Amino acid sequence: MDWQTLLSNKRFGELDPTELSESRTPFHKDHDRVIFSSSFRRLERKTQVHTLNDNDHIHSRLTHSLEVSCVGRSLGVQVGEMLDNSLPNHISPADLGAIVQASCLAHDIGNPPFGHTGEFAIRHWFRDPDNAGFLTGLTDAQVRDFQTFEGNAQGLRILTQLEYHRFDGGMRLTYATLGSFLKYPWHSGYRDPQKGEKFGAYQSEVPFLNEIAKEVGLKPLAQDRYCRHPLVYLMEAADDICYAIIDLEDGVEMHLLQYEEVEALLLELIGNDVPSSYFKTNSEDPARRRLAILRGKAIEIMVNAVAQVFVENEQALLNGELATDLISLSPEKVSNCITTAKKLAREKIFKDSKKALIEIGAYTTLGSLLDAFLRAVDEVLAGGQVSYKSQRILELIGRHAPQSGWDKYRSYLRVVDYISGMTDDYAVELAQAIRGLRL
C-alpha cells in the first residue's frame, strides 16, 4: 500500500471531484459532517459504560467519542510530522490529524442503546429459538448479519447510507476517512465466534466495503476481506487510551474504585515527570480535579510512545503485516498501564450490581422493540390487511419504513436501523409504551 492512494480525498457517493481549499480541507469537512449529524448527537444519551446515569461527570458515548477524537488528532498530527517526507504533497500533518480525528469521532456511531450490552441483547434476541420463525426465508449470510449484530458494521451503514444523503452516499465522506474508520474490513462471514472476532460490514454494505478498499488501495486477503488501513491503528490506540484511563475516572466518581488505586497506576507511568500543578492540590480538592492533572500527562506519554511505534513499523503497516496493536508494541510502562487499567475495570467496575440490573433490563427493552416492530413488518410483507397497531408502529420509522413487496432482509435492516439508532432513554420509553406500561 502507499500513502498517495491511502489518503484519497475523493468523496464516497459524489461524482464531482472534491473542491480544494487552503482554509478547510476535505478531511476537516469530514470532521464537521460527523459532528453535525443527528446520529452523532444521539450518542449523548447512549451508554459508554454506566447506563442512564444522572451524574453529569460520567461519560456518555458522545463525550467518550469527543475525547478519543482529540487523542486521535494528536496522534495523527505527530505521526504526520514524523513522516512528512513520506506523505503526498497535498497532505499536511494537520490533514493526517483531521483524518484520524474524523474516524475517531465516528468509531462508535453505530452503537445501539445501552452500548455493548445492547449489541449482545440484539444478537441474543435473533439467536433465541423462540424467534427463529422471524428469520425464515433469509440466506445464511443474512441470518448471520442479524445474529451477530455489530456496531462497527452498523456504523459503516450510517456513514455510507443513512445519514444526510439517505441511501445515496450517506455522509459522503472522503475515502481516506472511511478507510481509516474500517477497523474490521470484512463481512460477518469471517467472524470467528470462538475468538469473538468482530466485522465491519453487513452483506448490504459489502459492495461499499469493496469500493472503499479499492479506492484507498487496501491489500486484499481474501474475497471481500482486506488488511487494515494503517491509520486504523491510530484510531484503535486512541480508543484504547481513552477508555482504559477514563473508565477508571468514572469508577472513582461512582465510588467503585478508590482514588489511591488510580493515582498509583498513573504515577507509576508518569515517573518523575509529574506536573507541578499536581503538587498544589491536596486531599481537600475533588478527586476528579487531581486525576485530570495526572490523566493529561499520562495521555501525553502514551501519545508520544504510540506515534513512535507507528513510525518504527511504517513499512509493516504499509505491507499489511502488523499482527498486533500499537499499544502492545509500546514501551512496557505504557502497555502495562493500559493492561492494568483494563483489569481494574473488569474486576471492580463492570461487575457492579447496579450496572448488572440495568443491563438485564436492556435485554427486555430491546427484545420488546424487536418483537413489536418485526411482527408489524411481517404483517406488511404478508400482503394482507395490516392491523391498526402495526400501522402505527411502522409510522414511527417514517417514510423509509418497510413497504409491501420489499424483501425481508431489506425490511428487517430498516427496523434494526431505527432501533439501534435510539437513545437509551427513548428505547426505554417506547418499549414501556408498547407494552402498555406508559402512556
pLDDT tens figures, 7-23 = 999 999 987 665 666 67
What was the pLDDT predicted at 51?
Answer: 59
**C-alpha distances in Å from residue 3, one per residue of 24, 85, 89, 102, 173:** 21, 11, 11, 18, 18
The CA distance from 12 to 170, in Å, is: 8
Exposure class string for 192-211: b at 16+ Cβ within 10 A, else e:
eeeeeebbbbbbbbbebbbb
| CA dist., res. 153 & res. 149, Å (int) | 8
pTM beyond cutoff 0.85: yes
Cα–Cα distance list, 286 to 43, 242, 278, 283 (Å): 27, 21, 12, 8
pLDDT beneath 70: ranges in the chain: 16-22, 48-56, 192-195, 352-353, 438-439
What pLDDT does residue 58 have?
77
Q: Using CA atoms, how far apart are residues 287 and 272, in angstroms rounded to an integer?
A: 21
Q: What local confidence, expressed as pLDDT, does residue 22 receive?
A: 62
State residue 55's pLDDT score: 65
pLDDT at 41: 95
Residue 19 confidence (pLDDT): 62
The burial of 365, by beta-carbon neighbours within 10 Å (0-12 exposed, 13-18 middle, 19 or more buried), is given as buried
Residue 219 burial by Cβ neighbours in a 10 Å radius (0-12, 13-18, 19+): middle
At residue 50, the pLDDT reads 58
Identify the pLDDT of residue 351: 73
In terms of C-beta density within 10 A (0-12 exposed, 13-18 middle, 19 or more buried), how is residue 328 classed? Answer: middle
> Going by C-beta distance under 8 Å and a sequence separation of 6 or more, which residues neighbour residue 238?
68, 69, 71, 72, 75, 100, 104
At residue 345, the pLDDT reads 83
Cell numbers at residue 187, please? 463481512
Q: Provide the pLDDT for residue 18.
A: 58
Give 382-423 pLDDT, tens digit per residue: 988 999 999 999 999 999 999 999 999 999 999 999 999 999
pLDDT tens sequence across 288-319: 888 889 999 999 999 999 999 999 999 999 99
**Structural domains of the chain, ranges and CATH numbers in brackets:** 3-111+141-229 (1.10.3210.10), 231-348 (1.10.3410.10), 353-434 (1.10.3550.10)
Tell me what pLDDT residue 54 has. Answer: 65
Q: What is the pLDDT of residue 134?
A: 96
- Does residue 152 contact residue 3 with C-beta atoms inside 8 Å? no
